[in-house]
Structure 1
Amino acid sequence: MLLFGVQHFLVMAATPISSVFLVSSALQLSPSLTANLLSAAFVLSGLGSLLQSLGPWGIGARLPFVMLPGGAPLILFLSIADQHGLRTATGAVMITAVFYFVVLPLFSRLLKFFPTLVIGTMIVIVGVNLVKVGALLVTGRPGSSGFGEPLALLLGLATVGCTVVAYALLRGTLRQLSVLLGLLAGTALAALLGRVKLEATDDGALLHAPQLMPFGSPQFNLLASLPLLVYSLASMAEATGQTVINSEAVGKEPDARRDAPKTIRGDAVISLAGGFFGLPLMVTSGENIGIVRITGVRSRFVTVAAGLVLITVGFLAPVAWLVNAIPAPVVGGTALVVFGVITVLGVQMLGRSGLDDHTDTFIVAVALGLGLLPILVPGVYGHLPANLRILLESGVAVGAFSAAVLHALFHRTPWRTRTTTAAGTTATTGTDTGTGTGAAAAADVGEVPAR
């Protein structure tokens, strides 16, 4: 159980480390503040993983989830801190956490508009976005000095290769640990090539506990918090998709209306706590879902073990140094495998939703096109107003919203029900002048009986 927990930990540990160092470099924080935030990121990620996995009092979905800072919430946190100061940024995190609870009852009622077709579309977009994140860890960002460095590409592809070899040749528990073994093999190769560097994050102390309110007491500014409040709507949609796909990965009957609010409550509670320790919004991570599917280990107590490891690392400073020493291309190579699995899970969901229906194929095509646009073409909405840009640049939110609206338009509206029913009646009574049967004629125009 501990080994499986460590495997989850190593795959996702780069996220809190990179998030903290991004905050530190962008806001020019002192080494002591950096060490404090790093400790808090690990401890809160661990507590969030325990909460989501155990699910006490209806907070947490009782699924193998881990929680992390990073992503869009981190960028918004930095933007607010740059414009209004760190105290206002931490206050914005707390306001947004409370906003989750306020809007959740309304959001729960809207989940009926998120059938398998919509969730599957959302998961495909999430998977593609995550694959891109993993790829950038291998290649570096376009335009940077190290973009496409051959040695980095070698490390990333070698990590993928080692993972494949381990999965192909090993059996039993060792095969289930193939992701971890591939990561370790890639790190060993990086060490031989001189790409592993150990750097202490503070004064070299053995223990380090997170400090409460490291930037001082938070300041609450509703207007400054607006970008995070807008983003929270997209975050809830993404949490819904992750809850459904995680349920399927562990063999649990998915029920978004029952389980998604529990996941969102867990996000809200940990984000509120994280605000007191100077952290950006904490969200459930899709990274470990791919590990669950690859390994076949479905127990939520594996992520309980991962949560305990995270908390331990949060108090043991040298362990954080070791984890930070794993080169980004190695982590990216592992991420390509894990995130690719998430994309496949979304494709499987779409396959079960009946894509032989022309109307559903059209819905998915439009939603994928709109949702992938900001992912494949970064900055496409750069000239739009800031608050509108926040929503449109979230490909997951755009794809989910588009699929949900189109599905309701074609399958739930009264006029649609009457039209399809009338078409079916006409075909059945033989008044169609075509040569095909009524069912065939309906299929030709993409019509199906109202659902």
Structure 2
Amino acid sequence: MSSPVHPVDPTPVPPGDPAAVPADGAGAAHPVDESRPRGRILLFGLQHVLVMAATPISAIFLMSATLRLSPGTTVDLLSAALLLSGIGSLVQSLGPWKFGPRLPFVMLPGGAPLILFLSIAQQHGLRTATGAVLLTAAFTFLVLPLFSRLLRFFPPLVIGTMIVIVGVNLVKVGALLVTGQPGTPGFADPAHLGLAFATIALIVVFTRLLRGVLRQLAVLLGLAAGTALAFALGQVHPGSALSGRLVGLPRPFPFGAPVFDLLAALPLLLYTLASMAEATGQTVINAEAVGKDIDVRTDVPRTVRGDALTSLLGGCFGLPLMVTSGENIGIVRVTGVRSRYVTAAAGVVLVVLGLVTPVARAVSVMPPAVVGGAAMVVFAVITVLGVQMLGRARLQDHTATVTCAVALALGLLPILVPGVYSGFPSGVRILLESGVAVGALVAAVLNVVFHHPARHTADTAGAVPADAPGPAARV
């Protein structure tokens, strides 16, 4: 198997940009390792923050609305999310010791780990969900030496199926923010639905009319415009945002001392295997975007360690697992600025925002219908990414079609029919009611049954869920 990655840089670099200097020139640093004037680095870093800010905001509001958290707890969690996103971005960008690949990465909460956290919290309580995050972070360190051998059981067919299930589940969660739970007072209030649809329409308008980086801000602009509309309609009460302390740290263990339950944590533990495969793909794609040669065997574990360390710290503040994000790579491609010090600057900005409590309080006044409308769009994109990955999984092969179909059927069942496993023992129900874990496990098992590694070496070589072709997709 090939370890070194020798990517071709697909990013056009603006004329006169220092990144245009060849990395192999005499005495020249690679563009990834180039420092720039502090003012420019800070502006580029702020740009990354603006593009990515919608993700931690949406994640925390999903948590708050789904678990019915108090406004004070919501503010603490949002501060913690911004703070840990900043710390994680610094770790991945600067790469201290054996943590972080020294690539322009941003770390965020959300996605599949969020929905699994919410599921555990609803079934077993927030203290158990916090314990599950801490157990999973420790488990990641434990299995890291073996994970490269396990990657062959998670080819694009398995990962793509899992991502589709995750996306459908998250869209449902976002929709419930808008409608409320069925049977509760005010369920599917037309005013809330109208506000959510208006937010979605605004996102579409911004996406259609804006260009470049502004288009990447369409979700964030939609959130702001939707909140402004809600304020005009009298659905926003900003008084609480103007009171309280100016600077402060979020509370550690806001839900109380964590409870460690291996059985309850099983869905997150299973997801970790797929998460490590995803981190592999993210690292390879990021390296190609910046034109840097990496050794998958050494750089990918650094990414995974950065994820695990940040998640361990985040768990102490009540957050779900933190993961590296590939969305910021789009900014790198647009601007041609490949320096990892830019995302490090973004990390500094996020840390400052996490400590300045009025920022978190101001964001906390956004109506759930607005956040839910934007979240449905953001999370539906996850489903589209899963479909795109399945498009590379040779579904014309009948056995691959059967694998995907069975995994989707069993994975979507508890999502589409809540309570379907209510008659099962509680220990079994924990796993079965996690559609993501069931779908991933079924797809992995059927993939082994139909595509034994010894017979399909090409499939195992494509185990890394990377978008990039050629050697970059191999470990």
Q: 1:231 to 1:192 in 2, by over 3 A?
A: same
> Which residue among 33, 50, 62 is the counterpart of 1:6?
50
Aligned to 1:409: 449
> Which residue among 74, 86, 94 is the counterpart of 1:46?
86
Q: Distance in 1 between matches of 2:417 and 2:299?
A: 33
> Are 2:328 and 1:283 equivalent residues in the alignment?
no
Per-residue CA deviations over 1:167-192 (Å, capped at 9, x if unaligned) read 21222332232222222221221111
> Are 2:171 and 1:131 equivalent residues in the alignment?
yes
CA contact (8 A) 2:80 2:319 kept: no
Q: 1:166 to 1:80 in 2, by over 3 A?
A: closer
Aligned to 1:420: none
CA contact (8 A) 1:93 1:271 kept: yes
> Which residue among 433, 440, 451 is the counterpart of 1:400?
440
Aligned to 1:435: none
Unaligned runs of 5+ in 2: 1-43, 457-475
> Are 2:227 and 1:187 equivalent residues in the alignment?
yes
Calculate the TM-score normalised by the size of structure 2. 0.71
> Are 2:272 and 1:236 equivalent residues in the alignment?
yes
Q: 1:204 to 1:163 in 2, by over 3 A?
A: same
Per-residue CA deviations over 1:320-353 (Å, capped at 9, x if unaligned) read 1111111122122222222222211211121122
> Are 2:415 and 1:375 equivalent residues in the alignment?
yes
Q: Secondary structure at the match of 1:67?
A: strand
Question: Whose radius of gyration is greater, 1 or 2?
Answer: 1
The code of the aligned residue for 1:282 comes to L
**What's the C-alpha RMSD, in Å, of the aligned pairs?**
3.8
Q: 1:207 to 1:137 in 2, by over 3 A?
A: same
Task: Out of 357-366 and 73-82, give the one that drifted further.
Answer: 73-82
Q: 1:200 to 1:250 in 2, by over 3 A?
A: same
The code of the aligned residue for 1:137 comes to L
* Structure 1 residue 150 displacement after superposition: 0.9
CA contact (8 A) 2:77 2:319 kept: no
* Structure 1 residue 114 displacement after superposition: 1.2
Q: 1:391 to 1:306 in 2, by over 3 A?
A: farther
Q: Distance in 2 between matches of 1:12 and 1:37?
A: 10
CA contact (8 A) 1:123 1:245 kept: no
Q: Distance in 1 between matches of 2:54 and 2:345?
A: 12
Q: Secondary structure at the match of 2:240?
A: coil
* Structure 1 residue 319 displacement after superposition: 0.9
Q: 1:38 to 1:264 in 2, by over 3 A?
A: same
CA contact (8 A) 1:246 1:289 kept: yes
In percent, how many aligned pairs have the same letter?
Answer: 50
User: Relative to total residues, which structure has the larger helix share, 1 or 2?
Assistant: 1
User: 1 or 2 for the larger relative contact order (CA 8 Å, sep ≥6)?
Assistant: 2
The size of the alignment, in residue pairs, is: 401
> Which residue among 41, 59, 72 is the counterpart of 1:15?
59
Q: Distance in 2 between matches of 1:159 and 1:35?
A: 23
Q: Distance in 1 between matches of 2:378 and 2:74?
A: 29
CA contact (8 A) 1:111 1:256 kept: no
Aligned to 2:430: 390
* Structure 1 residue 96 displacement after superposition: 4.2
CA contact (8 A) 1:240 1:256 kept: no
CA contact (8 A) 2:241 2:365 kept: no
Q: Distance in 1 between matches of 2:439 and 2:295?
A: 20
The code of the aligned residue for 2:269 comes to L
Unaligned runs of 5+ in 1: 418-451
Q: Distance in 1 between matches of 2:389 and 2:190?
A: 37
> Are 2:191 and 1:155 equivalent residues in the alignment?
no
> Which residue among 76, 89, 94 is the counterpart of 2:120?
76
Aligned to 2:4: none
CA contact (8 A) 1:363 1:406 kept: yes
> Are 2:387 and 1:347 equivalent residues in the alignment?
yes
Per-residue CA deviations over 1:212-255 (Å, capped at 9, x if unaligned) read 56788x68x7xx42235423322314424643675687684999
Q: Distance in 1 between matches of 2:213 and 2:156?
A: 33
Q: 1:237 to 1:408 in 2, by over 3 A?
A: same
The code of the aligned residue for 1:67 comes to L
Q: Secondary structure at the match of 1:375?
A: helix
Q: 1:198 to 1:246 in 2, by over 3 A?
A: farther
> Are 2:377 and 1:337 equivalent residues in the alignment?
yes
Calculate the TM-score normalised by the size of structure 1. 0.74
Aligned to 1:428: none
Aligned to 2:213: 173
Q: Distance in 1 between matches of 2:280 and 2:402?
A: 23
Per-residue CA deviations over 1:424-451 (Å, capped at 9, x if unaligned) read xxxxxxxxxxxxxxxxxxxxxxxxxxxx
